[in-house]
Amino acid sequence: MLTLARDIEVLARFGRALADPIRCRLLLALREGPAYPSDLAAALEVSRTRLSNHLACLRDCGLVVTAPVGRRVRYELADERLGRALDDLRDAVVAVEADRSCPDADARGCC
């Protein structure tokens, strides 16, 4: 069983990963299946250096893992449940956005 402090740390890591649009795009791309950095860089239209930095962040957050394939390294989500979690989170945020059930969102500037 996770403690409250551990729960907070895990959620903060996930939030840090989602805080950047490129990392979000990487996670969504890897949700579709494993990929090589060169393919991800081309698909996301970012430099290999920039992509490498974002992949390192996602590895440090524990959200992606590497798998050696010959002389290359392939990236994939650390757990298939992360793909479902991304889908669920996206669906929940879209539903709230459509409902605008956060009445003072604009006043706080958070949404």
> Each residue of 38-84: pLDDT tens digit?
999 999 999 999 999 999 999 999 999 999 999 999 999 999 999 99
Structure tokens at 5: 């402090």
Q: Is 63 exposed, middle or buried (0-12, 13-18, 19+ CB in 10 A)?
A: buried
Global model pTM greater than 0.85: no
**Max alpha carbon distance in the chain (Å)?**
54
Give the integer Cα–Cα distance in Å for 66 and 5.
28
Task: Give the CATH number of domain 4-101; options: 1.10.287.310, 3.10.105.10, 1.10.3720.10, 1.10.10.10.
Answer: 1.10.10.10
Kindly list the domain boundaries of the chain, sorted by start residue: 4-101
CA angle 56, 4, 6 (to 5 degrees): 25
Q: What is the pLDDT of residues 6-29, one digit of tens each?
A: 889 888 989 999 999 999 999 999
In angstroms, the first-to-last Cα distance of the chain is 32
